[in-house]
Structure 1
Amino acid sequence: MATCDVCGNDYDKSFQIVQGDRKGTFDSFECAIHAFAPRCAHCGCSIIGHGAEHADKFYCCAHCAKKSGVVGIDDRV
């Protein structure tokens, strides 16, 4: 068993995620998202989908990107 880096739960079905030189052990996808998902530069939510990136900032959607001044991005065309 391994202990979750986020909540501390010692769980027999824990798993690890590796991203470059970052590594974490988690008991659930919820904890893994909390630790690894980028945050929207506008609203601060965890980006668990594709999101959008502009000028080294991440946004959860085109709406948030537009509210931050990004031009030329749409959720639907």
Structure 2
Amino acid sequence: MAQCEVCGNDYYLSFEVVTAGNRHVFDCFECAIHKLAPVCAHCGCRIIGHGIEAKETFFCCANCARQSGVSGVADHIWGKEKETAEKYAEQ
């Protein structure tokens, strides 16, 4: 068994994550996210999806990036892709 480095739980199903050459041990994804996930520079939430990186800064979404002065970002697509999505939504 290995002890979680966040909560201290000694759990038989603990797992390791290696990032940037550093080994970490956790008992659950919640603890891994708490320790390793980047933080949105605008709203402060943990980024557990893809997020957006602009100018070496992480944001959870395009809105937060825009609110921080980043232009040209979107988390959705307009145009033909929107028409296709609307077509399938009607079915």
- Which TM class, normalised by the smaller chain length? over 0.9
Cα RMSD after superposing both structures? 0.7
Aligned equivalents of 1:72 and 1:20: distance in 2? 30
Written as runs of structure 1 = structure 2, the 5 A alignment for 1:15-26 is 15-26=15-26
Find runs of 4+ consecutive structure 1 residues off by over 3 angstroms: none
Q: Which moved more, 1:17-26 or 1:49-58?
A: 17-26
One-letter amino acid of the counterpart of residue 67, structure 1 = Q
The CA deviation string for residues 19-47 of structure 1, in whole angstroms up to 9 with x for no partner, is 12222100000000111101101011110
One-letter amino acid of the counterpart of residue 14, structure 2 = S
Aligned to 2:43: 43
Larger RCO: 1 or 2 (CA < 8 Å, sep 6+) = 1
Aligned to 1:57: 57
Choose between structure 1 and 2: higher helix proportion: 2
Q: How many residues align?
A: 77
Q: What TM-score, normalized to structure 1?
A: 0.96
Gaps of 5+ in 2: 78-91
3-state DSSP class of the match of 2:72? Answer: coil
Identity of aligned residues (%): 58
Q: Select the structure of larger CA radius of gyration.
A: 2
The structural deviation recorded for 1:76 is 1.2
Aligned equivalents of 1:64 and 1:45: distance in 2? 11
Aligned equivalents of 1:64 and 1:22: distance in 2? 30
